[in-house]
Amino acid sequence: MIYVDFQGGAHGNYLQFVCNKFLAKIKTEGLPFNSLGASHSKKYLELGVFEMGHYSFEPPGNSYKTPITNNSNVISIQLTYDDLLPLQSISLLRAADFNINPDQLEINTHGKWNNIHYQWVLDNLIDGFFKDQLTNSYNAVKDESWPDISTVAEFKKLPDWIQEECVNIHNLTLYELNSNNPDCPRNVLREFFKIGFICPEKAGFITQQKKMIYDPSNDVSIFPYSCFYNTDQFITELKKLAFWLGYNFEPTAEFIDLHNEFLSRQPYKHSKIYCDAILERIKNKEQFNFPKLNLLQESYLTAHLELCYNIELPNNLQWFKNSKEVLNEC
């Protein structure tokens, strides 16, 4: 058994299929892709050699797969800071086939993330933006004669004149995120993801990756996430795996056709390149209207504009419409 360990959305299923089919020469039937483009529809005609799973991220005693045994070969798919934007985007869409549109995440945010795959993201969002928001905001404007509160329910029981003063005079905004209030404002989500792009060492996928620690008896090969989107680099990394594991691998026409099909099903593979091109145009002070951007792209651009110009941009519900609006803030 050769293990492929990866975070959700990092193409571990696809790598397993490719390794079984083209390295171990396991017989397969059809393409591995489902309707979402994820490689969750693999069909093997014989027992595979490569097995995949989120081994490093399963709670102890709650693994849906047998844990990695000692003295094993492990392929660990890992990312760099530059991979955060495409991986975050594709993970929402593909992980566990949830089909979460990264541009509609403000709708039913709690419902979309309240599951075993995204609970850690939901917890980080609530702890970072909702847990103390009401108390801190209220205490900042509160008269010493007003009652103390700790929940929105308690706020709504305050005398009407206090509530009106908080909302109308002090512009107090009340945020809740739970099953009864499942939507998260888009600007809050934009700020949440922006932090990970400004301080990538704190980004969820990077902190989660620190869990990928293996027993010293295991022989571990790091497989870079970025190579999936560059055919030449992907072939190079597969040849390294083949040499390491004692297989022969040369890319065939069938392999090239498969990988081209894989690439055609990756809507966010060039997301960072796309956003970096927009950044360059802004830095060059070009005047242009922005194309339609999804939430994560807005967060990425906000983060890098703030880093570039050493400013904090206004976090409005609607993002900027054109470069002139951005440059006016810079």
pLDDT at position 205, please? 93
Residue 193 lies in a domain: no
Q: Please state, in angstroms and as integers, the Cα–Cα distance from residue 211 to each residue in 53, 56, 57, 61, 185, following that order.
A: 14, 6, 7, 16, 31
Q: Please tell me whether residues 218 and 291 are part of one structural domain.
A: no
Q: What is the pLDDT of residue 95?
A: 65
CB 7 within 8 A of CB 91: yes
Instruction: Say if residue 15 is in the same domain as residue 73.
Output: yes
Max CA pair span of the chain: 78
Q: Are residues 120 and 247 in the same domain?
A: no
Tell me, yes or no, whether 104 lies in a domain.
no
Residue range(s) defining the domain that contains residue 301: 271-329
Q: Which of 213, 234, 264 is the last residue of a domain?
A: 264
- pLDDT for residue 99: 82
Q: Are both 160 and 90 inside the same structural domain?
A: no
Instruction: Tell me, yes or no, whether 11 and 131 share the same domain.
Output: no
Q: What is the pTM of this model?
A: 0.86
Q: What is the pLDDT of residue 286?
A: 97
Residue 192 domain-assigned? no
The one-letter amino acid at 262 = F
Say how far residue 249 (Cα) sits from the centre of its chain: 32
Same domain, 302 and 155: no
CA proximity to 51, closest of 94, 100, 86, 2: 2
Last residue of some domain: 236, 264, 292?
Answer: 264
Q: What is the pLDDT of residues 223-248, one digit of tens each?
A: 999 999 999 999 999 999 999 999 99
Task: Please indicate, yes or no, whether residues 177 and 151 belong to a single structural domain of this protein.
Answer: yes
- The structural domain count of the chain equals 3
Q: Are residues 79 and 222 in the same domain?
A: yes
Q: Do residue 276 and residue 248 come from a single domain?
A: no
The domain boundary, picked from 117, 151, 184, lies at: 184
Residue with tokens 């110009």: 309
Structural domain includes residue 292: yes
Q: Are residues 209 and 62 in the same domain?
A: yes
* pLDDT tens digits for range 204-221: 899 999 999 999 999 999
Question: In which residue ranges of the chain is pLDDT below 70?
Answer: 59-64, 95-97
- Say yes or no: 8 and 84 in one domain: yes
Q: Please check whether residue 198 lies inside any domain of the structure.
A: no
